[in-house]
Amino acid sequence: RASSSESRGALIVLEGLDRSGKTSQSSRLLSYLEGLGHSTELWRFPDRNTSVGQMISAYLSNKSHLDDRTIHLLFSANRWEKRSLMETQLKNGTTLIIDRYSYSGVAFSSAKGLDIEWCKAPEVGLLAPDIVLYLDIPPEKAAERGGYGGERYEQLEFQRKVAKCYQAQCDSSWKIIDACQPIEDIEKQLQDAGGPSPIFGLVDLWS
Ligand code: TMP
């Protein structure tokens, strides 16, 4: 344990397939928590602003080609380079809402056929979230939503595999939310589930 839980912020992770609504729901949750007077920040991974993030961005837009394990480790490094800031903010009492985290890393890479334990290994020692909010959408429904934006992984067949790889990681810390409901209903369920009430001190993934 790295800190007492008393004054720290919560680490809230949103996960889901591409086009599951994570990004707009993350913003809504941010406004809600800010409205309650909580110091809150919205982060996302990949963080495309860092130099590692720019390599990832080039890969995702098919401007570069990288070996599957290489890109996996870059996604992981992109989280590691933010770990100490993450810990500082949480200890300062700021709640962090994170749009994608290690579970995306493991789901998308194991969907390519990489061994799941190999995929998890570089994530060990990153901070474990207090809650994972999974926006659950059938891959077919996600594909219908205004079309995919043309990035590397936005293909139905691949997203079907990713959905299975998410399921393989789901445990009791996950809250599964039906992402086919009206936007306001989803928003309400996230508010009910995602309030900043960390019970434990900070712990590492996957402990
Ligand atoms: P984004 O659309 O949320 O910015 O994510 C970009 C893509 O990168 C998305 O298809 C999911 C994928 N991804 C990984 O493959 N590994 C990771 O570790 C993360 C965070 C995202």
pTM here is 0.94
* Ligand 1 pocket: which of 47, 100, 101 to mutate (most atoms within 8 A of CB): 100
pLDDT for the residue numbered 3: 46
What's the per-residue H, E or C state across 103-155? HHHHHHHHCCCCCHHHHHHHHECEECCCEEEEEECCHHHHHHCCCCCCCCCCC
With a 6 A CB cut-off, is 45 part of the ligand 1 pocket? yes
**Structure ipTM:** 0.99
pLDDT tens for each residue of 14-56: 999 999 999 999 999 999 999 999 999 999 999 999 999 999 9
The residue contributing the CA closest to ligand 1 atom 16 is 105
The residue contributing the CA closest to ligand 1 atom 18 is 105
pLDDT band at 2 (very low <50, low <70, confident <90, very high): very low
pLDDT tens for each residue of 61-103: 999 999 999 999 999 999 999 999 999 999 999 999 999 999 9
pLDDT reading at 9 higher than 80 = yes
Q: Mark residue 16 as left, alpha or beta (left: phi above 0; alpha: psi -120 to 50; beta: remaining).
A: left
pLDDT tens for each residue of 103-160: 999 999 999 999 999 999 999 999 999 999 999 999 999 999 977 878 999 999 999 9
Ligand 1 centroid to residue 46 C-alpha, Å: 6
With a 6 A CB cut-off, is 46 part of the ligand 1 pocket? yes
pLDDT for the residue numbered 160: 98
Ligand 1 centroid to residue 7 C-alpha, Å: 31
Percent of the chain with pLDDT strictly greater than 70: 94
Q: Mark residue 25 as left, alpha or beta (left: phi above 0; alpha: psi -120 to 50; beta: remaining).
A: alpha
* Ligand 1 pocket: which of 20, 27, 60, 66 to mutate (most atoms within 8 A of CB): 60
With a 6 A CB cut-off, is 75 part of the ligand 1 pocket? yes
| Residue in 9, 49, 45, 44 with CA at minimum distance from that of residue 26 | 44
Return the percent helix, strand and coil in the chain, to nearest 5. 45, 15, 40
- The number of the ligand 1 atom at minimal distance from the alpha carbon of 76 is 18
pLDDT reading at 196 higher than 90 = no
pLDDT band at 195 (very low <50, low <70, confident <90, very high): low
CA 180 to chain centre: 19
